[in-house]
Chains A and B, each alone.
Chain A
Amino acid sequence: MDHLGFIAVVYGTTFAVIIALVVRTLSQGRDLASKVADKDKPWT
């Protein structure tokens, strides 16, 4: 495959950033959910 390095950086960076964002959002959510009462969480 031509330009493999460029293509790998694009795919690698994009999916790494998405995974990092998902992990951060989930961990922040779980951390806060254990401190905030259920009455303030309409989805529970």
Chain B
Amino acid sequence: MDAQTFNARVATPTTRLVGAMAIVSLAWVVIGGLFITPKDVDQGDAVRIMYVHVPTAWVAYLAFIVTAVASACWLLSRKHSMGFDRVAGASAEVGVVFMAMTLLSGSLWGRITWGTYWAWDPRLTTTSFLLVTYIGYLAVRGLGGSLEQRARRSAVIALLAVLEIPLVHFSVLMWRSLHQKASVLSGDGDIKMDGSMLTTLLVGVIGFTMTFAWLVLHRQRVLAMQDAMQMTQLDAALRERADESKGLK
């Protein structure tokens, strides 16, 4: 029998490359967002919050969509590969953190522009509802049972929860809202934004997306190792029980 080896390395060349690209992009966001881009005509320096707020919101949406796609893949695949379930779980964890950061930055931005930290506005209300839904999703993942039970029940919830995203995104169009409508993805192709502001915003979206990719890649490896340890401990407990029953005979 081969001796087991225990390599403590979790990173790979791919994750290192993704991580390096994320660091460079995020450094650009900080320098560009705080020092290079001009003030907004209406909002003044408060617009600098946009370079963080918009990318974190984008990543939260992306994370929840990835969770839904991975969950659908788990449900539809014949082998029910647990890799899909772990990607779904890892993506939801990262999405919840980014959604909370979006609400925090939005709240502070709202205090400057609207004069209040919070209003029961359609966008804010639906976003907070989305956050609570995915906290619930993570709570369900933490319930007991086999890995397959975890994957099945969380996949069903993920496929239902993702339906909230269009509601959040289009809430500013469907109801009267304090929150401004989409500036870049407005659909008419007319982007009313200074070049350096738009560039910094797009670099921010790329940088935060790279950060998300790095976190999900690493986090799903952590989940894979936690699952492996759980299975090893379960096997050991079953062997011990079998040995005990042999001893009784």
Contacts and interface: CB of A to CB of B under 8 A. Distances in A.
Interface of A: 1-4, 6-7, 9-11, 13-15, 17-18, 21-22, 25-26, 28-30, 32-41, 43-44
B159 interface: no
Specify the main secondary structure of chain B where it touches its partner. helix
A40 B8 contact: no
A35 B215 contact: no
B112 interface: yes
Contact of A32 (B12, B30, B215, B225): B225
Q: Which 10 A-B pairs have the closest CB atoms?
A: A29-B10, A40-B228, A32-B225, A37-B4, A2-B45, A36-B225, A34-B8, A10-B105, A33-B8, A38-B5
In terms of DSSP, what is the predominant structure of the interface of chain A?
helix
A30 B6 CA distance: 11
B46 A3 contact: yes
B180 interface: no
A3 B49 CA distance: 10
Contacts of A17: 97, 101
23 contacts: A1-B34, A6-B111, A10-B109, A11-B34, A13-B101, A13-B105, A14-B52, A14-B105, A17-B101, A18-B26, A18-B211, A21-B94, A21-B215, A29-B225, A30-B8, A33-B8, A34-B8, A35-B225, A35-B229, A37-B6, A40-B225, A41-B7, A41-B225
Given A6-B49, A32-B222, A44 B7 contact: yes
Given A25-B215, A29-B10, A10 B52 contact: yes
Contacts of A6: 46, 49, 108-109, 111-112
Nearest to B3: A37
B7 A38 contact: yes
